[in-house]
Structure 1
């Protein structure tokens, strides 16, 4: 049995990955993982009968164990793994609760590692891993510090893992979008200081970001970047001092 596994699948980027993978890939099942079981069941009706809801809260330690157990029972080939689960919060150290800090690090980083390592024994040559990074990983971002820092980890982890898996023929692509029109901002601005960041331009559409991400993953690229603005941001973050970039960010955020 050949499958795709997509975390954070109930909304936003994760849901768009489900839509496009269902329409473009020849698979037996698409395992969609998220907390909201009702939304996952709706996706089976809306998108494809191949969608298999797996309702789990990945912040709970026993969820990864449940995934490992399911993989051991089914013994599928994981053709595509998409680690899309994650969230961000705007604000400084004064604005984040202990739970928000722990959950952001755990979901964006630790869960991504454990999901990846759980699936690797079930992957073969030409199978692909897609990690949801962010253009915020290109430079330090005051007042969006913790989220951006978790995405630095995602990008570095993904690119190094891509090299480690070369001998197995498995590719790892880190997707680094700019601002994308999803529910992300509703969560990100729900803090003690919701006015920390206001300038969300340019705004990209999730279908365009995911379309390019899937193409880049097929090509074996270790990073997928959509849009001239984001590409310029990546370039300037390499060429200009980060102190200058951070000062500019504080003026336009």
Structure 2
């Protein structure tokens, strides 16, 4: 990654779930290209560590915020309005994973996943909408699991399919203001969440399914987010970009 570009000079960006993984990588990329960035998360200590790691001085601000809470979304929007006055980029990234057979899901777990992954995305966009400058860009973090059936992923995949639909509907709703809305669908990305969900002994079998021959990195996703949020993607709207090394579209030949 080159740090010489400045596609986001004088831009204000919000990255929800920005304290680790794909959110942290996206925040780092936006900062490297000149943005001021607000990151959110539920864990204050983790947010503080992220700010220290990003080492961007006054250009990064961490705000404790629960994506599933509309009250927190309201407070976040009020803080951004007072401190920055507007937003140019939103990466609605906050999400959780939960994998188990259909018969084992409880109502409480179902509600938890839906509240964060779907409700959280909807109200993040809705509550920040008055702050978005005309011509702003929204990127939503979805998942490859919405494109291909995966055992134990029923509820998780359903929330990600729902945010694909939100992406297209938001793009239509916000077209009069020139606000573009796209999503990214990461495949197997090597993050803490990946390691929490996937046993180490399963990794070789997973990589064997990927035409690219490796797991993805958080930086792979950050590259795509920065592109979709930039003027280089000015004619891309309502789309989903799958970042999976070919997992969905290509069956690798046997070596």
- After TM superposition, is the score higher than 0.5? yes
Pick one of 190, 206, 215 that aligns with 1:181. Answer: 190
CA–CA distance in structure 2, aligned partners of residues 61 and 170 of structure 1: 22
Unpaired runs of 5+ residues, structure 1, are 237-253
Higher deviation after alignment, 49-58 or 148-157? 49-58
Shift of 1:95: 2.8
Maintained 8 Å contact 2:47/2:64: yes
Matched, 1:90 2:96: no
Whether 2:67 is the aligned partner of 1:58: answer yes
Alpha carbons 2:40, 2:63 under 8 Å: kept: yes
Mapped contact 1:124–1:169 kept (Cα < 8 A): no
Distance 1:76 1:162 in 2: 23
Is 1:100 the counterpart of 2:109? The answer is yes
For residue 57 of structure 1, give the secondary structure of its aligned residue in structure 2: coil
- Secondary structure of the residue that 1:88 maps to in structure 2? coil
Q: Residue 46 of structure 1 is aligned with which of 45, 50, 53? A: 53
Matching of residue 225 in structure 1 with residue 242 in structure 2: yes
Taking structure 2 as the reference length, what is the TM-score of the superposition? 0.80
Equivalent residues in 2 for 1:126-205 (5 A)? Answer: 126-188=135-197, 199-201=205-207, 202=210, 203-205=215-217
Change (3 A) 1:205 1:228: closer
Please, what TM-score do these two structures have when normalized by structure 1?
Answer: 0.80
Is the Cα contact below 8 Å between 2:188 and 2:244 reproduced in 1? no
Residues 187-212 of structure 1 show CA distances to partners (whole Å, capped at 9, x for unaligned) of 436xxxx89x8743332111012202
- Which runs of no fewer than 5 residues in structure 2 stay unpaired? 1-9
Equivalence for 1:31? 38
Whether the 8 Å CA contact 2:26–2:221 is kept in 1: the answer is no
Partner SS for 2:249 = helix
CA distance in 1, matches of 2:91, 2:249: 26
Q: Is the 8 A contact 1:177 1:230 kept in 2?
A: no
Q: CA RMSD in A?
A: 2.4
2:169 and 2:20 mapped to 1: Cα distance? 28
1:166, distance to aligned residue in structure 2 (A): 1.9
* 1:69 to 1:213, Cα distance in 2 relative to 1, 3 A: closer
- C-alpha separation in 2, matches of 1:227 and 1:35: 27
